[in-house]
Structure formats: C-alpha cells, structure tokens
C-alpha cells in the first residue's frame, strides 16, 4: 500500500516552478522536476519535500488519514469563517443627496436635486430591528451616501439606537464608520463622532488637480483644499488612526499612480487602496470616458504598489489594503469578511446595503444597478419585509449559489481559489442575466485577480519585500 495519498489540491505552472494550493488555503511552490515526481511517485520525492507537502496539506500520510482529514476540515471551516457570520457589514444610506459631482459616481440622485431623498425615523427603526435580528456579535455599520453628513440627524439617530440596542440580552459589538467626502464636516459632527467612536473613511483621488477633476464640488469650490483643511480638524478631534482614505482608479489616474501614492504619504496617510472602477449603474454610462482595461489596471496597480513599497523602505510605514488582504489570506489560516472578495459571495450572508427608502440590496453594487431602475439585486424592503423574508429567501440563497467560485468555470480549478472571492454583482453575472449560470469564459491569463495574487506571491519571494508584506498581513 502506498504511504501517501493526495489531498485535494490545485496547481499552476508559473515559470520554472509549480504553485500548489490545498483546499483549505495552504500555498507551496516546488520545482517542475519535483512536480513531475509528485504526480508520478510521491515516494520518490526527497524527505524534505514530502514533509513540506504534508505540512501544506497537499499530501496526506495514509497511516494518519483520519486525523489529517479532521485537521483539514477544521482549517477549511476557519478559512470559510464568513459563512458562520460572526461578523457582518451593514451599509446604511441616510440620503442620496451629495455636495459633490464625482465623475464616476454611481448614485443617480446624488447629482440631481429633484431626486433628493432622506431616510425617515420609521425606516431607520426597521433597519435597527433587522440589523439586530441579523446573527453574529460583531457588526460594522457603514454610513454611505450620497453624503451622510447632509442627513446627519439620521446618522446620529441610527448610531444611538444601535448602541442602545446592545444589551446583556443582545451582546453585540457595533463598529461605526462614516464614509464622507469631508466637505460639510464641522465641529458638532466631530464631537458626536468622537463620543461614539465613529471612524471616518474618506476619498482622496490624488494630487489637487486630479482630485478636483474627478471629484468636483457642486458649489464650485476647491474640494481638495477643503478636504485637506477638514482632514486636519478630523484628525485632531478623532485621532490620526480614525481617519482613513481610499481612492478610485479612473483612466486619468493610470499614469499618475506614483504621484497619488506620494500625495497620500504627504498628507500623512498610512494606508491606501487602489480601488478598481466598477461599471455598474450610472458609472456604466461614463465608462467609455473613465474606464480602462483590466490589463491597464493591473499594470497601474503593480506600479502603485512598487511605489508604496519604496515608501516603506524609505522608513514611512504605509499599507496597500488590497495587497494586505491578499498577503493575509496567503500567509495566515484565517478568513475574513471582505465583502467584495468572498466565496460564496458575501452579499446577503455577511452583509447588505440598506437604502434611504428601506430597500435592502445585496451590496453597494446592487444598489447602483437599482439606481438605474433595475432592482434585480434588491432583497426586499425593511418597511414591509422581515429579517427572514429578506435574508433567508430563495433569492438570497440563489445569489449565494451564483457567487460561489468553487463551482464557477474558470475559477474552480484555479490555484488561488482558496484565497479568492467575488462581489455578488459580478459583471459577468450581469452580462448573462439574472441568476443564469455564468459561462466558462474566465480565462486565467486575463483574470486581474489572478495576476494580483501572482504578483504578491512573487513579492513574497523577495527577501527585501517579504517582511513588509508579513507586517501588513499580521497587523
């Protein structure tokens, strides 16, 4: 009887080596000669390689098969922690009104005063109930817009109501994040945010000219200067680490990504995220002017990351959040609740978006599609539907099934599958209609996520870079 068996694994040949990943999220690289031996006769491998493959759950020792399978199962559950929903993300939109006219904004009402809508207390009460009915003990509440500061009364009300709802019978920890462009921020807002430990997530698209071009204000003022001024006030009031920013990569940003990274450093940020422009909802109309190919995004992202790593080597600590998430997934056994990168997709399982009018969407992207009049990603309305109606429905379940990479052509045998995920409203699903099975058209070489994963794997091979990524992963 053979001494070893294969555990389920996936592989990719990259250059002169093979990358192997186990189902439960171990990644190991071996030479092509070793890979051939692994396929032919694992026993012929060196003891060192066998031990490495056993440790990474590519091989199992037949003598201890049951123990090994139990360990694999435990690891698998850890990696898929989001399915247990101990923590969740609830995005709440108090209003669709905004004081900016961001060129890539997906929210129709934000630039049209005729469509101005504000959440009522009745709707907010129902949202509080639904969020409390949602299982789990750690719930992150993200106020989004429009610009939530323009309906701050509702931010205040929801924060206080949710805080008050956490009792000994409902031992829930709420974390609050206000997503704001800072333009309307004042001391009164800050006093409240400080009292309730609300963090700020803001948007900075780069140097003054680029930021102002992409995020013009409605009153014609210099958004960048006002942003800078309010940023300092916010940091003074809340503390440096309570104010983070992220950027959206538009076509105009592609050639200036290094400058953008430098701007973040110059303004004292210690993190950045090169977020890909999506083409949902209203943004779809402008994609011709602002969009770019996946290839261009990957090239820009890698350049931006290179700049961030240089900044770190120069002594200024700065994290690129998407790379940090990839590194965390590659280097640790843990899963996370990054709603845009889960399998099954996290919308409806690990979070949802509650619109000002009570409609609940599978994700922010789902709301964007809804803004265009297509409510296929709407799960229900808190005004009339219960938690069960919204989150245990066949529709929610079908979305989860459609967003499972393990059964997705092109993804199911990808070496990075155990670390990857997708947002619920993937463009491919949109293109092929509601809940239709996606076709087998995901080509590995053109998958931007695959290329970013591979980039991180290569960076981890570099002894100068690995410690930086390890620091990002283990923070």
Closest CA to 205 of 252, 141, 135: 252
Site track 435-464 with other proteins (rule: CB under 8 A), x = hit = --xxxxx-----------------------
Give, as ranges, the residues between 46 and 105 that touch other proteins (CB under 8 A). 80, 83-85
Report the C-alpha gap between 409 and 462 in whole angstroms: 32
Site track 178-217 with other proteins (rule: CB under 8 A), x = hit = ----------------------------------------
What region does 118 belong to: left with phi over 0, alpha with psi -120 to 50, or beta?
beta
Alpha carbon distance, N-terminus to C-terminus of the chain: 45
Report the C-alpha gap between 87 and 142 in whole angstroms: 13
| Nearer Cβ to other proteins (166/331) | 166
By the rule CB under 8 A, 421 interacts with other proteins: no
Question: Do the beta carbons of residue 173 and residue 88 sit within 8 Å?
Answer: no
Question: Using CB under 8 A, which of 55, 70, 407, 435 touches other proteins?
Answer: 407
| Nearer Cβ to other proteins (136/216) | 136
Residue 251, token pair as written in the block: 């076509």
Question: Using CB under 8 A, which of 14, 36, 62, 135 touches other proteins?
Answer: 135
| Nearer Cβ to other proteins (239/439) | 439
Contact stretch for other proteins (CB under 8 A) within 134-142, 221-229, 282-290, 446-454? 134-142
Q: Residues binding other proteins: what is the number (CB under 8 A)?
A: 26
DSSP string, 215-256: S-BTT-S-HHHHHHHHHHHHHHHH-GGGEEEEEEE-GGGGGG
| Nearer Cβ to other proteins (135/221) | 135
By the rule CB under 8 A, 400 interacts with other proteins: yes
CB of 304 to other proteins, least distance (A): 33
Report the C-alpha gap between 372 and 457 in whole angstroms: 39
Report the C-alpha gap between 246 and 234 in whole angstroms: 16
β partners of residue 92: 143, 354
By the rule CB under 8 A, 129 interacts with other proteins: no
Q: Which residues contact 112 (CB under 8 A, 6 or more apart)?
A: none
DSSP state of 359: E
**Dihedrals φ, ψ of 350, to 5°?**
-110, 10
CB of 135 to other proteins, least distance (A): 2
By the rule CB under 8 A, 329 interacts with other proteins: no
Instruction: Note the residues at the interface with other proteins (CB under 8 A).
Output: 80, 83-85, 134-136, 343-344, 349, 391-392, 397, 400-401, 404, 406-409, 412, 437-441
């Amino acid at each position: 009887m053979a001494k070893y068996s294969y555990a389920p694994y996936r592989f990719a040949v990259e250059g002169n080596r093979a990358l192997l990943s186990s189902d439960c999220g171990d990644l190991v690289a071996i030479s092509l000669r070793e890979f051939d031996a692994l396929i032919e006769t694992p026993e012929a491998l060196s003891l060192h390689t066998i031990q490495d493959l056993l440790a990474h759950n590519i091989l199992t020792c037949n003598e201890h098969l049951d123990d090994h399978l139990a360990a694999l199962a435990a690891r698998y559950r850890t990696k898929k922690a989001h399915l247990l929903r101990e923590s969740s993300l609830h995005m709440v939109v108090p209003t669709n009104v905004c004081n900016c006219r961001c060129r890539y904004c997906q929210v129709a009402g934000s630039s049209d005063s005729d469509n101005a809508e504000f959440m009522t207390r009745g709707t907010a009460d129902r949202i509080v109930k639904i969020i409390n009915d949602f299982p789990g003990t750690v719930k992150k509440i993200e106020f989004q817009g429009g610009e939530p500061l323009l309906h701050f009364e509702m931010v205040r009300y929801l924060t206080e109501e949710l805080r008050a709802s956490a009792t000994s019978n409902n031992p829930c920890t709420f974390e609050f994040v206000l997503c704001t462009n800072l333009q309307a921020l004042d001391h009164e807002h800050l006093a409240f945010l400080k009292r309730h430990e609300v963090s700020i997530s803001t948007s900075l698209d780069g140097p003054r000219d680029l930021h102002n071009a992409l995020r013009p204000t409605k009153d014609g003022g210099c958004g960048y200067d006002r942003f800078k001024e309010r940023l300092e006030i916010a940091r003074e009031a809340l503390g440096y680490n309570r104010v983070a920013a992220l950027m959206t990569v538009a076509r105009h940003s592609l050639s200036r990504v290094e400058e953008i990274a430098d701007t973040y450093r110059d303004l004292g940020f210690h993190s950045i995220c090169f977020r890909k422009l999506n083409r949902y909802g209203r943004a779809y109309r402008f994609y011709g002017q602002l969009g770019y190919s996946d290839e261009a995004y990957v090239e820009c992202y890698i350049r931006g990351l290179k700049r961030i790593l240089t900044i770190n080597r120069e002594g200024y600590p700065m994290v690129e959040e998407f790379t940090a998430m990839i590194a965390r997934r590659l280097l640790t056994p843990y899963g996370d609740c990054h709603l845009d990168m889960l399998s099954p997709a996290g919308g409806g399982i690990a979070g949802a978006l509650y619109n000002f009018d009570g409609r609940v969407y599978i994700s922010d992207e789902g709301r964007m599609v809804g803004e265009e009049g297509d409510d296929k990603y709407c799960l229900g309305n808190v005004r009339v539907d219960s938690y069960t109606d919204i989150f245990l429905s066949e529709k929610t379940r079908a979305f989860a099934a459609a967003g499972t990479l393990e059964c997705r052509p092109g993804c199911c045998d990808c070496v990075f599958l155990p670390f990857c995920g997708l947002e619920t409203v993937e463009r491919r699903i949109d293109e092929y209609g509601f809940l239709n099975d996606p076709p087998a058209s995901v080509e590995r070489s053109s998958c931007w996520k695959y290329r970013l994963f591979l980039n991180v794997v290569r960076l981890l091979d570099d002894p100068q870079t690995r410690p930086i990524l390890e620091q990002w992963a283990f923070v």
